[in-house]
Structure 1
């Protein structure tokens, strides 16, 4: 296949030749050359690696349903109870909602997805099975990882660990954890279950961390100790963790260095929060950082629209980035950054100016989008998009092909 007349990362107009699922060659565009049959017409659009949403809760989505007032209270446990009280009463069955949301994400350019699936004594495996069904329906259009996620904690409700193990037996790709100190109030017991099941089923670990300041650092240090002791370098992700930079500069630098050394990834949803570790410093240190949308207009919040280009804008905005190199870095995090979080074979970003993913040999997971420059694409978030997964066009104009 030939992708004709595109600008990789906003560079010169080029023709990109694909060989199956890989990029074979990138050549200067020849406007006089006839267009071969079956080529993708770039029309001078930007060519970017496709998006990676590495932190999304497909299991609670309300995308496509009537808007409802937000009824959640403060705190993780209160919000979880709000979701528990309402998720069964939605206008459309959960499997249909999950599949429709995943399709909408792919149509907007996301071909790598790490999704949470809540597992607890209330929903048991019902939410997990709805996400599995969506993966089975659209797994040929995107890479999809499913996390067995203890949103309600592991130790507060008897039997939760058994349901988590059942999800892993049924094929969950990642073992989740959440706030070992503030939710379960037993960090050792919580992490024993998380890392024990991950080691037993040979899956990655992803820890939701909302804990503040010194307490968040304490939990993080326990996670780093286990990562080192169990040889799980490259298989652990810290999600949110938005107060790890709030203690002092020396602690921030130490954590960044340890994340880089142990290849511990970070997943952000671009929150408007102070005290975060510096995205620039994380990237310069070679720490894998991915981006996600979190909830999708669900019972937790009214935000989320399935568009990672929109979330890239939010990442730039909440970091107060203005320079092109920093806005483009947000695109790199939202694309190849997340790809490296899901697949350790994908190289880490080498710094703020690194723009990988579009060279010969790279995987042909791509998105074409209108824009003068990558920064203008983030600011304008156009809809003239073409999406490819493994060298095959899967979406055009925000609709699946």
Structure 2
């Protein structure tokens, strides 16, 4: 199969030959078009997006808008979600599948989703994400993180539910704020890393903790990663408070992330310290982007569009130069992909534009725009999405 007249990363017009699931070659555009060819029409060719931090199980996309009723901290927000998520106008299985379909249609074909497991929800939310993954199995690959949103020590039986979720099919074991939520970082991390060892799964820990406290928790996670030989298998998500210290603190922490091969996933939040993206990439730290909640009981934000979230990543970092905004696209696509699939190479610098070479898997997004930066600014609906060499969406509609 050929994709005709596309511009890889905004460069010269090219034709792309696909064999099976793989890019076979990219050659200068010939002007020839067969009936079976995909028509690029001069659009930009990019790797498809990888959302490495999304909570599919709490989505309200497609439902009537609901005013926000959450409290000021993680625990009260969790209680608000717990009180309301079962009362939505549509059942959770349908909601999750609908949102996953929207994500694919907009250009995301690799997803890492959390599924909340606790003594209240049991396996119900996990089962909904598992069902959505199965429904879209030909359109996207989905990793599922068993996520103890309520902590592991505040409610009796929480650790057992987390283990039950891994037995039920979750791919990754999650953790959250070992100091501020569970107030016992040693026991919390004992449980998380103990389950990771027992079931041979990666770890992904939400870390909202501020300043020195957040850096203390990060130190404990880095130490355990090295001690257990889990390099390349641990992600610290959010990490809001890690990067507001001195320049020497930031540089030292980035170097320790690199030594332990601990990745980070950001949602490009507003009003927070930004990540040292250039420093991280230059030191070999894997960074991915995600959308977090999708207009849910935690926040009214989120629209299933990673191109929109790429704009947010560039905007919150104050980027204007093309090289920086294209770097955000690389983070949102292959940067996150290297977290989901650790066999993929990490980004090597802010000028690295991977994912469109012979031998790369044909997970692709064709999008309208004068340049990649213009595509991020305009976020036009004229998009074609390929997963493993097959067209799975066109014009924001699933095929």
Q: Which moved more, 1:4-13 or 1:250-259?
A: 250-259
Task: Output the CA distance in 2 between the equivalents of 1:60 and 1:98.
Answer: 8
Structure 2 counterpart of 1:18: 18
Number of paired residues?
A: 399
Provide, for residues 369-393 of structure 1, a one-character-per-residue CA deviation record: whole Å limited to 9, x for no partner. 0000000000000000000000000
- Deviating runs (4+, > 4 A) in structure 1? none
SS at match of 1:329: helix
Displacement of 1:275: 3.0
Provide, for residues 13-42 of structure 1, a one-character-per-residue CA deviation record: whole Å limited to 9, x for no partner. 0000011111000000012x3x13311000
Structure 2 counterpart of 1:28: 28
Task: Output the CA distance in 2 between the equivalents of 1:135 and 1:274.
Answer: 32
Structure 2 counterpart of 1:115: 113
Say if 1:243 and 1:276, in contact at 8 Å, map to a contact too.
no
Structure 2 counterpart of 1:156: 154
Say if 1:242 and 1:273, in contact at 8 Å, map to a contact too.
no
Matched, 1:53 2:54: no
CA RMSD of aligned residues (A): 0.7
Structure 1 counterpart of 2:201: 203
SS at match of 1:244: helix
SS at match of 1:17: strand
Structure 2 counterpart of 1:102: 100
Gaps of 5+ in 2: none
Task: Output the CA distance in 1 between the equivalents of 2:272 and 2:82.
Answer: 30
Task: Output the CA distance in 1 between the equivalents of 2:326 and 2:274.
Answer: 20
Say if 2:274 and 2:316, in contact at 8 Å, map to a contact too.
no
Task: Output the CA distance in 1 between the equivalents of 2:330 and 2:184.
Answer: 37
Task: Output the CA distance in 2 between the equivalents of 1:216 and 1:382.
Answer: 38
Q: How does 1:221-232 map to 2 (within 5 A)?
A: 221-232=219-230
Of residues 223, 239, 242, the one that matches 2:240 is 242
Structure 2 counterpart of 1:368: 366
SS at match of 1:214: helix
Structure 1 counterpart of 2:3: 3
Displacement of 1:277: 3.3
Structure 2 counterpart of 1:270: 268
Q: How does 1:32-181 map to 2 (within 5 A)?
A: 33=32, 35-181=33-179
Say if 1:244 and 1:276, in contact at 8 Å, map to a contact too.
no
Task: Output the CA distance in 2 between the equivalents of 1:375 and 1:229.
Answer: 42
Task: Output the CA distance in 2 between the equivalents of 1:57 and 1:118.
Answer: 8
Task: Output the CA distance in 2 between the equivalents of 1:274 and 1:297.
Answer: 20
Of residues 187, 190, 193, the one that matches 2:191 is 193
Matched, 1:344 2:342: yes
Q: How does 1:222-371 map to 2 (within 5 A)?
A: 222-371=220-369
Gaps of 5+ in 1: none
Task: Output the CA distance in 2 between the equivalents of 1:300 and 1:362.
Answer: 37
Residues 92 and 274 (structure 1 numbering): CA distance in 2 closer, same or farther, change over 3 Å? closer
Task: Output the CA distance in 2 between the equivalents of 1:235 and 1:98.
Answer: 26
Say if 2:274 and 2:317, in contact at 8 Å, map to a contact too.
no
Say if 1:241 and 1:276, in contact at 8 Å, map to a contact too.
no
TM-score, length basis structure 1: 0.99
Task: Output the CA distance in 2 between the equivalents of 1:140 and 1:230.
Answer: 35
Task: Output the CA distance in 2 between the equivalents of 1:142 and 1:275.
Answer: 32
TM-score, length basis structure 2: 0.99
